[in-house]
């Protein structure tokens, strides 16, 4: 992950509910190329993906996790281009997190963190 991203940002999409603080907009977090965990945005997933597309690209890995840690948990994986349609097909309309970021793909050994590897030195 160290060559792909060093940051994970938990954020929400301020279209519904309480107002977002000034300057705390999804675009600002996307500019950092961080892994984004967008809290409870599924009803507005297409708008969120429209915002993130220019920063991450349509081929960027994405996942929707519905009711994480519950018996009803579901996870949908895809790309920014296809994840909204997959979410709608699964009839997920609430209680989900949307994750976006290049590090969501399977990493090669060279891309993984070497922090805890034993060294010969």
83 pLDDT higher than 90: yes
CATH of 8-104, one of 3.40.1190.20, 3.40.640.10, 3.30.950.10, 3.40.50.11540: 3.30.950.10
Q: Measured on CA atoms in the order 4, 7, 10, 15, is the torsion positive or negative?
A: negative
- For the chain, the structural domain boundaries read 8-104
What's the pTM value of the predicted model, to 2 decimals? 0.80
Give tens-digit pLDDT for 6-47: 788 888 876 666 666 666 678 888 888 888 999 877 888 898
Q: At what angle do helices 45-56 and 80-89 cross, to 10 degrees?
A: 160
What region does 100 belong to: left with phi over 0, alpha with psi -120 to 50, or beta? beta
Q: What is the pLDDT of residue 95?
A: 81
65 pLDDT higher than 90: yes
pLDDT range class, residue 116, cuts 50, 70, 90: low
């Amino acid at each position: 992950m160290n060559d792909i991203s060093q940051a994970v940002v938990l954020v929400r999409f301020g279209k519904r509910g309480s107002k977002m603080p000034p300057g705390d907009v999804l675009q600002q977090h996307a500019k950092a190329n961080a892994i984004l965990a967008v809290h409870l945005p599924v009803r507005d997933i297409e708008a969120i993906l429209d915002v993130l597309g220019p920063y991450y690209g349509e081929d960027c890995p994405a996942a929707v996790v519905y009711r994480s840690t519950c018996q009803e948990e579901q996870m949908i994986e895809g790309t920014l281009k296809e994840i909204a349609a997959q979410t709608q097909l699964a009839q997920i309309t609430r209680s989900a997190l949307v994750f976006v970021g290049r590090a969501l793909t399977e990493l090669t050994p060279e891309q993984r963190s070497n922090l805890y590897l034993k060294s010969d030195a």
